[in-house]
Structure 1
Amino acid sequence: MSDEKNTPDPTSDVQATTPPDYAEGSTFRPKGWIYKGFNVNGAEVWYASPKVQLLMVSFVCFLCPGMFNALGGLGGGGQVDATAQDHANTALYSTFAVVGFFAGTFANRLGLRLTLSFGGLGYCIYAASFLCYSHTENIGFVVFAGALLGVCAGLLWTAQGAIMMSYPPENSKGRYISYFWMIFNTGAVIGSLIPLAQNIHKTSGPVTDGTYAAFIVLMFFGAVLALFLCDADKIIREDHTKVILMKNPSWKTEIVGLWETLFDSPWILLLFPMFFSSNLFYTYQNNCMNGSFFNTRTRALNNLLYWLAQIVGAFIFGHALDYAKLSRSVRAKASLVVLFVLTFAIWGGGYAWQKQQVVREVAKAEGFELIDWKDGNTKFLGPMFLYFFYGFFDAAWQTCMYWYMGALSNNGRKAANLAGFYKGIQSAGAAIFWRLDGLGKPFDTIFGATWGCLAGSILIGAPVIFMRIKDSVTIEEDLKFSDETITDVIAGPTEKKVDPES
């Protein structure tokens, strides 16, 4: 009998620890306006919930990198000669590569909110440098702005990646990523409408000053909006859990954390080629294709279609990656196969078009006849659809990459480190390819190198996707990368006692 009395009842493993105040209508959220629930389409949300915070992050990226993408997609940053943009982007992605690799350390130490806001400031300075260049041809300012933006963008994208990968529940990560990518690229779509509207009758020369001014104002608002985010330790998910963070991290522990991420998960190195390849195609698409063979207004139209295609691609892939009737491991394998097929289908079509084009020296010569949207079926429609599918491919690749990383961990600290690796190595690839364009390498060479890197990286990364992505990641696995305990990540008045021997 005494043994029975001392045996814990499995139904009584919950210890009541009810704090005095809770948000109205909630039994697990603390009191405060950020936890006050309100209904949206029949679902309850609160300010410090993943849905609201990811929506705000999406709009920060809508206003900052979204507008940057619209500006870059014009080819040459909206200038006639792409030299300034080539030099600026080489500087940008060089500093981005260095800062991005260690940006997870800064994000964990400074907090995601401040990291995101500071990161947004570099975008408006970058746009301002091109406005200055239109009047003064001060290429030094453009290169400086590019280098500064590399620092800022490394911080912004690492904070964004950590939020997007660690805030959502496991069964919704694909949809959350797709919603972010759709809103973010809506910024690029609207940003593309600005130069299209202002340059609709313009077939030559740089874009107007008003185009740059609009970008500057919108980018600044994005940096300010980031200050209104909640800190990560205040976020409570719909399943009552909190984001796993490290308690009071120091610079030393964060730098050690970078090493721990690689030491404990060395297979992550196999994903580095996919990281490297994830942005390098912009050089060929923006400058070698759109900026070299189309006139000003047609470049603006192609740019608009490119970012519209991103919205379509993100929606399709985001929802497919969360398809509940297939296990997550099966979805991971299937998505990689689809990505491989798209790489050969879309870029194979690109090869068919590229091999018919003139060499760089002819395309850049004065008097070369650029393609206009009035040219119709013979010259415009084919490359227009190709450019659209390039945008679709970009969204597919990025959505899958973020989903793969999110499937490997729910830990905010590890997610920040993964996002930092991703953006740093991605930027190294972009810097190399922007430099190739700046050196005037043949269009065929840049195209072939781009296609080869994409296809080869999928094959190298396949073992990780096929063998390391599981149907779920346990809290115990994630806690290896933090100082939290299981009860630290359970929100609410009841916390489960966990037997350390179980």
Structure 2
Amino acid sequence: MSEEKINSTFQESPVEVSPADDGEILEVRHYTPQEIAASGKWYDQRYFGLPSYSNSLVQVVMLSFVLFLCPGCFNAITGLGGSGISDAVVADHQNIALYCTFSVGIYSGIVVNKLGPKICLMIGGSGYLIYVASLLNYQRNQNVGFCIFAGAYLGVCASLTWAVQGSMIMSYSSEDRKGLFFAVNWIIFNVGTVIGSCIPLAQAIQTGTSSASTGTFAAFMALVGCGIVVASLLLPMDKVYKLDGSKVVASKYPSIKSELKGMYHVLVREPKIYLLIPMFATSNWYYTYQFNDFNGGGKFDLKARSLNSLLYWFSQMVGALLLGVILDWGRFRRSVRAKIGWVVVFVLGMAIWGGGLKFQLGYDRDSKLTAMSFNDRGYIGPMFLYMFYGMFDAMYQSFIIWILGSMSNNPRKTAIYASLYKSFQSAFAAIVWALDSRKVSFMALFGSSWGMCGGSLLIAVPLVFFMITDHTDMEKDGMKEILEDDVVVVKTIEEREIKAEDA
């Protein structure tokens, strides 16, 4: 395609340019819908006025439905407390195994760059399928060994799933739409969890049992199987176009050596990433308190726990949408939006956890409790508190992904960012699940969760307030080598303006 065919209609997003050593300017090539459709491929065509299948937002929606059906079902089960089985200690040990193998998944970014999103998501889905199958088996045969194996296997698979998610969200979106992409992804993902939570809620109302039934787990297995099928329909990364008409292209057939060099660059030459590690570590720490101790600590019966779980994940959608709008607010530069986002997350987080203190002061592990149902007096307050916990979680996770996305548009680099994020997240999750299995007090787990949320945000201040730029420099980001023929070299700023007028 000739260099002159640059689409002037795709200039709503900021153009990524950077001065090279010789004074040249590098500009990402933008393609018109007509130029994209000229390939003749079915996935580049627009039918009934809808975006083409190769549109990056369409592909992220497809990814979101995979998460809807796989991790969404996992979250619905975990949110029941004790993974919905009769022995919470077995669930703790299973999750310890899961997060231990998940925590060493720093390699997953390399695997995603090597195999591509489709294969990695299909492998990831198999882990969720085996996990649910182990819970079904436990309900019938009390096979603890299978549960532990399934947890460990899921840890490996989940590291691939979430490395793909992070990489696609960060690299498929233009710089001014990263909040939108995360919000769309998180909302669809949590719709799956909400729908999944309806299954045990309906069965709990009907049967009144204290743990999920075999029918519940069988239904989840069917949903996860559908997720694997959806994953097989994803396009390769080099077939996808962003909303501004630029291509999403990763290096073809990257060598293991080049991937290790890329990881070395991130870990050694970009020390600012270490300011986010406390946020990485915190992002799943509080799940153990919320799921096993708040919602599964004997305070609620299964009907109330199921409703709590449903509302928790519904509130995640609200939180993701709210912060996504703030982080994409076009009235402000990206560096300013980062500061606004930090203030919103910090203030709301401290208010919500502060509100949770009064509730937690009322009971602990040794308290003799009568399980509360959703039609009992006194239920409404804890219900809204749990909803606010869910909203905060979505905002906290969203802010992490947005910060990482502001640091790079390079798919190879963002996959490494995502795997690093999930590795630390899972390593600390394994620690807190182990603490819970050793019967550490609810107050200790609550206090550590609150303190880590506030402390991690404060540690991130130097990065958020002083290191986030308004645009990501292509040359420093390594995009010239990645995009190859899709970079336009313009000699002067004046020549660039003339080309834009002629296009």
Superposition TM-score, scaled by structure 1 size = 0.89
Cα separation, 2, equivalents of 1:138 and 1:274: 36
Alignment equivalent of 2:158, drawn from 139, 153, 156: 153
User: Conserved in 2, the CA contact under 8 Å of 1:63 and 1:218?
Assistant: yes
Cα separation, 2, equivalents of 1:34 and 1:28: 10
Any residues of structure 2 matched to 1:6-405 within 5 Å, and which? 14=3, 26-29=34-37, 30-39=39-48, 44-99=50-105, 101-292=106-297, 293-357=299-363, 359-363=364-368, 368-376=369-377, 379-405=378-404
Partner in structure 2 of residue 483 of structure 1: 481
Cα pair distance change 1:219/1:15, threshold 3 Å: same
Unaligned runs of 5+ in 2: 7-30, 497-503
Any residues of structure 2 matched to 1:401-420 within 5 Å, and which? 401-420=400-419
Deviation of 1:299 after TM superposition, in Å, equals 0.5
Deviation of 1:170 after TM superposition, in Å, equals 1.1
1:46 match: secondary structure:
coil
Read off the aligned partner of 2:46 and give its amino acid letter.
G
Deviation of 1:476 after TM superposition, in Å, equals 1.8
Read off the aligned partner of 2:201 and give its amino acid letter.
L
Cα separation, 2, equivalents of 1:128 and 1:324: 46
User: Conserved in 2, the CA contact under 8 Å of 1:158 and 1:416?
Assistant: yes
User: Conserved in 1, the CA contact under 8 Å of 2:240 and 2:249?
Assistant: no
Cα separation, 2, equivalents of 1:334 and 1:187: 30
User: Conserved in 2, the CA contact under 8 Å of 1:64 and 1:218?
Assistant: yes
Deviation of 1:206 after TM superposition, in Å, equals 1.4
Deviation of 1:496 after TM superposition, in Å, equals 4.7
Partner in structure 1 of residue 14 of structure 2: none
Partner in structure 1 of residue 473 of structure 2: 474
Cα separation, 2, equivalents of 1:161 and 1:498: 35
Cα separation, 1, equivalents of 2:311 and 2:245: 41
User: Conserved in 2, the CA contact under 8 Å of 1:14 and 1:496?
Assistant: no
Identity, % of aligned pairs?
Answer: 44
Unaligned runs of 5+ in 1: 1-12, 18-22
Read off the aligned partner of 1:89 and give its amino acid letter.
N
Aligned length: 466
Deviation of 1:226 after TM superposition, in Å, equals 0.7
- 2:459 aligned with 1:460: yes
Read off the aligned partner of 1:304 and give its amino acid letter.
L
Read off the aligned partner of 1:26 and give its amino acid letter.
Q
CA displacement 1:362-421 (0-9 Å, x = unmatched):
35xxxx411111212xx3111111001011111111111111111111110111000000
Partner in structure 1 of residue 28 of structure 2: none
Read off the aligned partner of 1:352 and give its amino acid letter.
K
CA displacement 1:80-108 (0-9 Å, x = unmatched):
33111100111101100102x11101001
Deviation of 1:478 after TM superposition, in Å, equals 1.8
Cα separation, 2, equivalents of 1:274 and 1:130: 31
Deviation of 1:32 after TM superposition, in Å, equals 0.8
Superposition TM-score, scaled by structure 2 size = 0.89
CA displacement 1:16-61 (0-9 Å, x = unmatched):
79xxxxx997124522111112355xxx511111011011000000
1:362 match: secondary structure:
coil
Cα separation, 2, equivalents of 1:473 and 1:33: 33
RMSD of Structure 2 on Structure 1 (CA)? 2.0
Cα separation, 1, equivalents of 2:166 and 2:42: 26
Cα separation, 1, equivalents of 2:317 and 2:456: 24
Read off the aligned partner of 1:56 and give its amino acid letter.
M
